[in-house]
Chains A and B, each alone.
Chain A
Amino acid sequence: MHGTVTEAIERATLEVFAIMVGVDLVPKVQWKNTGGEFGSNVESSFQLSGAVSGTAMVYYTLTLATRITCQLLRIDPPVPETDILDAAGEVANMIVGSVKNLLECHWGSIRIGVPRVVLSGQRMDESRGMRVSFRCYDDVFTVSVVFHEDPSHWEN
């Protein structure tokens, strides 16, 4: 199950960045989950329901989110915070949508809730779930999926 989810995360994220952002990522890198002062990170989270129940999250630094926004919109900084949150959220939406499509092949219909995109400084909760970190430019971001129930019974 872990392999199914992490493979889906890796495949979906690489595809979205190659096609929309035009950037090649390096997957499965080490990520320092240090948090920071408030506003230093952008968190996009999505509730999953249906065949599985959980939360998918994409976690960037604000610096990286800004750079991704500039690349998507072909603009130079400074960029309004609303534009950064929208762009970062939309990239996360496409990643999670693609992960969902891949996981549905294994587990059946999954619904994605309305995205929640916020600035934060908190450390990401690494105690549960599956995650893959990616190097993008000279920064690292993480995509994670946490299931609300023990998914071990889902595997055949």
Chain B
Amino acid sequence: MGVRVLIVDDSSTIRKIISRCLQQSELGISEMCEAGNGQEALELLAKRPVDVVLTDINMPTMDGIQLLSVIKQNEAWKSIPVLMITTEAGADSVIAAVSQGAAGYIKKPFTALEIHDQLAPVVKAVVRS
């Protein structure tokens, strides 16, 4: 069975680029869904859980840090690995995310290889479990 990934970013461009990277990654991603902010992401999760979440940090309505917090406090979702996507590696928001249980982060701008390398160990752990 393949891996389901939720991509959360207010930029449709970034969502499409990440989707393309995942399709080409040979990581066994069987399904991708997209959300434009944290609130939309939670609505999607409630309908159908996923195996991995990739989320931007700065988004309107509900940002990535708030989304991470809600996921990690929810009994049904707290084991889902969440990777943050950000222009600000090393900044307070990234440190806060990692301390709240983010599985890692991807810095913009990113290459397809960087997406693959950050996601590979996470997907491997999901498949193993």
Contact = CB atoms under 8 A, between A and B. Distances in A.
B116 to A, nearest CB: 14
B16 A73 contact: yes
A94 B87 CA distance: 6
B44 to A, nearest CB: 20
A86 B13 contact: yes
Given A94-B87, A97-B88, A83 B109 contact: no
Nearest to B17: A72
Interface in A27-80: 69, 72-74
A65 to B, nearest CB: 12
A97 B108 contact: yes
Interface string B58-100: 0010000000000000000000000000011111100000000
B89 A19 contact: no
A109 B91 CA distance: 9
B20 interface: yes
Contact of A83 (B13, B20, B60, B91): B13
B12 interface: yes
Contacts, number: 46
Interface residues of A, number: 21
Contact of A15 (B89, B92, B109): B109
A15 B108 CA distance: 10
B87 A101 contact: yes
A89 B11 CA distance: 9
B13 A94 contact: no
A98 interface: yes
Given A97-B87, A98-B87, A101-B88, A19 B13 contact: no
B92 to A, nearest CB: 8
Contacts of B89: 101
Contacts of A69: 13
B14 interface: yes
A16 interface: yes
4 closest residue pairs by CB, A with B: A97-B87, A19-B109, A20-B109, A87-B13
27 contacts: A15-B109, A16-B109, A19-B110, A19-B111, A20-B17, A20-B108, A69-B13, A72-B13, A72-B17, A73-B13, A86-B11, A86-B12, A86-B13, A90-B13, A93-B87, A93-B108, A94-B87, A94-B108, A97-B87, A97-B88, A98-B87, A100-B88, A101-B87, A101-B88, A101-B90, A101-B91, A109-B92
Interface of A: 15-16, 19-20, 69, 72-74, 83, 86-87, 89-90, 93-94, 97-98, 100-101, 109, 114
